[in-house]
Amino acid sequence: MENITILIVENESLVALELTETIKSFGYKKVSYATNSEMTKELIEKKIFDLILMDINLNEKIDGIELYESLNIDIPIIYLTAYKDDLTINKAILTNPLGYIIKPHNDDELRAIILLAQYKINSIKYKDKSEKLSLGDGYYFDIKEEKLFYHDIFIHLGKKELQLLKLLISARGNPVSYYRIEHEIWGSTNVNNSTLRTLIYRLRGKLTYKIINCETNYGVMLKPH
C-alpha cells in the first residue's frame, strides 16, 4: 500500500514533535509539523500533503477549523481536540473531516485512524489512476499512462512540462506557488525567473492559455471547469 505524506498542526512544539516521532514509528516517514497558522501556510505552499492532523485549539485568533477553511485546499483532515462539546464537533463536521482524536491521544487509536485514512486516500488515488482526467476544452490527461491528449490526439510533453502538469493536477485546482514549482522540478538548483516562466509559457501553449491561470506574483493553477 502506498505511503502517505502527513502534516501535523499543533501549537505546542513538544507535543508536535512527540506526535511526529510516534507517527514515524508507525512506518510513515514523510511527516512534517507546524506550530502556527503562518508556518502551516508556508509548508502547504512548499510541499504536497495527503493528510493533515489539525489541533483545533491553536491559541490564535482563529482555531484549527477556521484555519483549515481559510486554506481552501482539498486535503483530508483529522482533528485533534481536547473539547468534546457539541458546538465544537458540529463546527468541525462542516469541513467533512475523516475523524477526530480526543487529547491526550492513545497511540493505538492514533495508528488505527491514520491507517483508515491511508486506505481511503489510496483508494481515491487508485480510482484516479484508472480514469482519464478532463482538463477542459477537449484536453484530458491519462494519469495511469502519464500522457496528455487533445480528444484522441497525443500531445508530447517534455520531462519538465510533464512534471509541471502533474504538480498542477495534484494541487486539485489550488494555486501552486512559483517557489514550490522551482523546488519540486529543479530541486536545489537555482533557476532564474525567465527559465521558470518559459516552462509555464510552453505548457500553457500546449493546453491553450485559458486552462492554466497565472496568479500575479504568486504562481499558477489549473482552471476549474
**Grid cell locating 143:** 494519469
Residues 47 and 103 in one domain: yes
pLDDT at residue 127 greater than cutoff 60: no
Q: What are phi and psi of 197, to 5 degrees?
A: -70, -30
Residues 19 and 105 in one domain: yes
3-17, 73-87, 136-150: range with highest mean pLDDT:
3-17
The vertex-112 CA angle with 110 and 114, nearest 5°, equals 70
pLDDT digits (tens, 9 = 90+) for 47-71: 889 999 999 999 999 999 999 999 8
Q: Which residue range(s) make up the domain with 84?
A: 6-128
Looking at 128, 144, 167, the residue that finishes a domain is 128
Q: What is the pLDDT of residue 165?
A: 94
Q: Are both 168 and 114 inside the same structural domain?
A: no
pLDDT of residue 54: 96
Say if residue 25 is in the same domain as residue 118. Answer: yes
29 part of a folded domain: yes
Inside any domain, residue 18: yes
**Can you give the pLDDT at residue 1?**
46
Same domain, yes or no, for 109 and 14?
Answer: yes
Q: Identify the CATH number of the domain in which residue 215 sits.
A: 1.10.10.10
Whether 164 maps to a domain, the answer reads yes
Residue-level pLDDT at 2: 57
Q: Which pLDDT tens digit goes with each residue over 147-198?
A: 999 888 899 999 999 999 999 988 877 889 998 999 889 987 888 889 999 9
Select from 62, 95, 128 the last residue of a domain. Answer: 128
* 148 falls within a domain: yes
Residues 36 and 111 grouped into a single domain: yes
Q: Is residue 1 part of a domain?
A: no
What's the pLDDT at 88? 84
Mean pLDDT, rounded, for 13-34: 94
Can you tell me the distance from the alpha carbon of 189 to that of 176, in angstroms, rounded to the nearest whole number? 19
pLDDT of residue 53: 97
114 and 16 assigned to the same domain: yes
Class of residue 159 by CB neighbours under 10 A (exposed 0-12, middle 13-18, buried 19+): exposed
Specify the number of domains making up the chain.
2
